Structure 1
């Protein structure tokens, strides 16, 4: 009897230890699986399991991609029988109620080679909501961290165009997929490297995205208006208009390098080491007082005119009279003027000019 009782206790102890381990693994895994199907030769992913309403919503979008590819393929073949469009698909991530599906489209219209393009579909499996980069990057600080992480990775890739280290496409609709410890940005051929390099992937860890910044950035928000009115630069601690070059250098904890001349923006601009994304103009002659600042897009990544107006209110839009094909969104806050520049009224901001009179 005692021996039987002891065996029963041993069994229960083993059972109790096994159950939590199983539950923990289940909590970290997804509630769905995926399967590849084909529509007129075009591959697409469908999810299996989970809530039907969510599943149907996601699957509809995932199949539409293949349907559209088939339509494109038919259209191309009517032009030339050797033209074609081909789509492949794969599941890149399926954990923690998040799923990432990557479609690769290849179309050939003659010439030395065709053209490849990637489209990513990221979903919250609890709601069926499609997730874009601005759901991962929720603050300007995180956007700056992301841009910095991409730049660092691109610089280590010998296949990347050198100019792309500082000027790569980054928007809310940029292609990315999840990994356990971060996200992977995917650049199409020619976006940051030659066709022969294929798709260039850049991994940025969540730890980098969420880290504290050690350098100044344009921390624009609804509270920035009062700072600008006072002649201060949001995010650039202890820097304000009217300071000397020495005072700015001390505030940035950096020495300045050689200046460059920008006639359309008011003369000589100085760049300080470690803050290459910002240029400072100290006026003409012997004044040596800060009155113009130019900031590159990396101080305010992934923003459009519409994003700025949500923070600062309605501004004045129009073509830049000095630069053909450039548009400006302009504000005046007291004696401070701010101009956001873009290649279109709907495009991404590629530069910011702040001046004080």
Structure 2
């Protein structure tokens, strides 16, 4: 457990302190000038455990969204309990953060870690993206299938043309089946550690401009 906690502390410190400069998303979460149209989002602890967080969005239109996120964090909690039965040193966690809240678009990330021995934990990110209360998948965020395909080519070209930012990128790098979140200029595609860089580098993000997007 000591190894896991140390790994968690180090990774979260890197994520919170250094990731903004790497992801071209250093601006704070934006809200509309009319605060009356912006739903309030509260981060709560599941079962009063700060290692398991979930977001609650105000408004009846977000009831389904809130239920979906609560079930998701509950599944991570159950995974943690199962891991502990295998070995008391094993553990999991899920930390929530509001990434975007503007123009009826909400992105909420969940940083998840699973420790099952070894040098460090396995870290991934899941993002829930809602437009007017509806869950939006990556493909649905685009204008059409052509825009989706063109954006994939854009992402591949972008990472290959920025090797200092994405040293592990290659011609097989794809946008498909990745997480994303909205930004003021479009979306950021999320790549987990080891996909485009080392574990120590944390998550990597590739911007996709608004021109391809439906929302």
The answer on whether the counterparts of 2:193 and 2:199 sit within 8 Å (CA) in structure 1 is yes
SS at match of 2:182: strand
Residue 75 of structure 2 is aligned to residue 59 of structure 1: no
Residue-pair matches, total: 178
Return the match for 1:148 from 147, 153, 171.
153
Which of structure 1's runs of 4+ aligned residues deviate more than 4 A? none
Q: Please list every run of 5 or more consecutive structure 2 residues that lacks an aligned counterpart in the other structure.
A: 1-31
Corresponding position of 1:110: 117
Give the whole-Å Cα distance in 1 for the aligned partners of 2:129 and 2:37.
14
Residue 50 of structure 2 is aligned to residue 46 of structure 1: no
Corresponding position of 1:310: none
**TM-aligned CA deviation for residue 161 of structure 1:** 4.1
Give the whole-Å Cα distance in 1 for the aligned partners of 2:33 and 2:166.
39
What whole-Å deviation, never above 9, does each CA across 1:260-289 have from its counterpart, x for those lacking one? Answer: xxxxxxxxxxxxxxxxxxxxxxxxxxxxxx
**TM-aligned CA deviation for residue 159 of structure 1:** 4.8
The verdict on how the C-alpha distance between 1:34 and 1:109 changes in structure 2, with shifts beyond 3 A counting, is same
Corresponding position of 1:177: 181
The answer on whether the counterparts of 1:30 and 1:94 sit within 8 Å (CA) in structure 2 is no
**TM-aligned CA deviation for residue 30 of structure 1:** 4.2
Q: Please list every run of 5 or more consecutive structure 1 residues that lacks an aligned counterpart in the other structure.
A: 1-23, 211-357
What whole-Å deviation, never above 9, does each CA across 1:168-191 have from its counterpart, x for those lacking one? Answer: 2432x4200001210000011122
Q: Which entry has the higher C-alpha Rg, 1 or 2?
A: 1
Corresponding position of 1:158: 164
Corresponding position of 1:215: none
Residue 80 of structure 2 is aligned to residue 73 of structure 1: yes
Return the match for 2:38 from 19, 27, 31.
31
Structure with more contact order per residue of length (Cα contacts < 8 Å, sep ≥ 6): 2
Corresponding position of 2:194: 190
Give the whole-Å Cα distance in 1 for the aligned partners of 2:199 and 2:165.
10
Q: Superposition pairs for residues 1-357 of structure 1, below 5 Å?
A: 25-26=33-34, 30-40=37-47, 41=49, 42-48=52-58, 50=59, 52=60, 54-125=61-132, 128-155=133-160, 156-162=162-168, 164-171=169-176, 173-207=177-211, 209=212
Give the whole-Å Cα distance in 1 for the aligned partners of 2:131 and 2:145.
23
**TM-aligned CA deviation for residue 145 of structure 1:** 2.8
Give the whole-Å Cα distance in 2 for the aligned partners of 1:202 and 1:94.
20
The verdict on how the C-alpha distance between 1:157 and 1:45 changes in structure 2, with shifts beyond 3 A counting, is farther
The verdict on how the C-alpha distance between 1:108 and 1:159 changes in structure 2, with shifts beyond 3 A counting, is farther
CA RMSD after TM alignment: 2.1
**TM-aligned CA deviation for residue 96 of structure 1:** 0.7
The answer on whether the counterparts of 2:156 and 2:174 sit within 8 Å (CA) in structure 1 is no
Give the whole-Å Cα distance in 2 for the aligned partners of 1:167 and 1:47.
37
The verdict on how the C-alpha distance between 1:114 and 1:91 changes in structure 2, with shifts beyond 3 A counting, is same
The answer on whether the counterparts of 1:76 and 1:109 sit within 8 Å (CA) in structure 2 is yes
User: Scaled by the length of structure 1, what TM-score is found?
Assistant: 0.47
**TM-aligned CA deviation for residue 157 of structure 1:** 4.0
Give the whole-Å Cα distance in 2 for the aligned partners of 1:72 and 1:159.
33
User: Scaled by the length of structure 2, what TM-score is found?
Assistant: 0.75
